[in-house]
Amino acid sequence: KTSLVWFRRDLRAFDHAALHHALRQSQAVHCVFVYDTAILAALPRRDRRVDFIHASVAELAAELRQLGGDLIVLHADAAEAIPRLAAELNADAVFANHDYEPQAIARDATVAAALTHDARLWFSFKDQVIFEKDEVLTLSAKPYTVYTPYKNAWLKKMRAEPACLAPFDIEPHAASLAPPRAGTPAPLPTLDELGFEASNLAELAIPTGMSGASQLFEDFLPRVDRYDVARDFPALKGPSYLSMHLRFGTVSLRYLVRTIVDLMDRGGGGDGASVWLAELIWRDFYAMILYQNPHVEGGAFKPAYDAIAWETGPDADAAFAAWCEGRTGYPLVDAAMAQLNQTGYMHNRLRMVTACFLIKDLGIDWRRGEAYFALHLNDFDLASNNGGWQWASSSGCDAQPYFRIFNPITQSEKFDASGRFIRRYLPQLKALGDKEIHAPWLVPRMLLDQKNIVLGRDYPEPLVQHDEARKETLERYAVVKVVA
List, by residue number, the catalytic residues: 279, 282, 310, 348, 366, 389
- Closer to ligand FAD by CB, 279 or 472: give it: 279
Segment lying near ligand FAD (by CB under 6 A), choices 11-19, 110-118, 192-200, 234-242 = 234-242
Interface with ligand FAD (CB under 6 A), residue from 89, 242, 397, 439:
242
Q: With binding defined as CB under 6 A, does residue 240 bind ligand FAD?
A: yes
Please state the closest distance from residue 220 (CB atom) to ligand FAD, in A.
7
Interface with ligand FAD (CB under 6 A), residue from 351, 360, 438, 466:
351
- Closer to ligand FAD by CB, 73 or 251: give it: 251
Q: With binding defined as CB under 6 A, does residue 472 bind ligand FAD?
A: no
- Closer to ligand FAD by CB, 5 or 253: give it: 253
What's the CA gap between 352 and 330, in Å, rounded? 15
Interface with ligand FAD (CB under 6 A), residue from 20, 151, 173, 231:
231
- Closer to ligand FAD by CB, 82 or 224: give it: 224
Binding residues among 151-210 for ligand FAD as defined by CB under 6 A: none
- Pairing relationship of beta strands 93-97 and 121-125 according to DSSP bridges: parallel
- Closer to ligand FAD by CB, 197 or 325: give it: 325
Interface with ligand FAD (CB under 6 A), residue from 340, 377, 448, 469:
377
Interface with ligand FAD (CB under 6 A), residue from 286, 291, 330, 425:
286
Q: With binding defined as CB under 6 A, does residue 400 bind ligand FAD?
A: no
Find the farthest-apart pair of alpha carbons in the chain and give their distance in angstroms, rounded: 80
Q: With binding defined as CB under 6 A, does residue 239 bind ligand FAD?
A: yes
Instruction: Report helix, strand and coil shares of the chain as percent, to nearest 5.
Output: 55, 10, 40
Q: With binding defined as CB under 6 A, does residue 348 bind ligand FAD?
A: yes
Please state the closest distance from residue 406 (CB atom) to ligand FAD, in A.
11
Q: How many residues bind ligand FAD (CB under 6 A)?
A: 28
Interface with ligand FAD (CB under 6 A), residue from 243, 400, 412, 473:
243
Please state the closest distance from residue 178 (CB atom) to ligand FAD, in A.
33
What's the CA gap between 389 and 364, in Å, rounded? 12
Q: With binding defined as CB under 6 A, does residue 280 bind ligand FAD?
A: yes
Q: With binding defined as CB under 6 A, does residue 274 bind ligand FAD?
A: no
Q: What character string, x for contact with ligand FAD (CB under 6 A) and - otherwise, covers 355-374? A: x-----------------x-
CA dist 18 → 8, 155, 173 (Å)? 11, 25, 13
What's the one-letter identity of residue 150? Answer: Y
What is the contact surface with ligand FAD in residues (CB under 6 A)?
Answer: 231, 239-243, 246-247, 279-280, 282-283, 286, 348, 351-352, 355, 373, 377, 379-381, 384-385, 387-389, 392
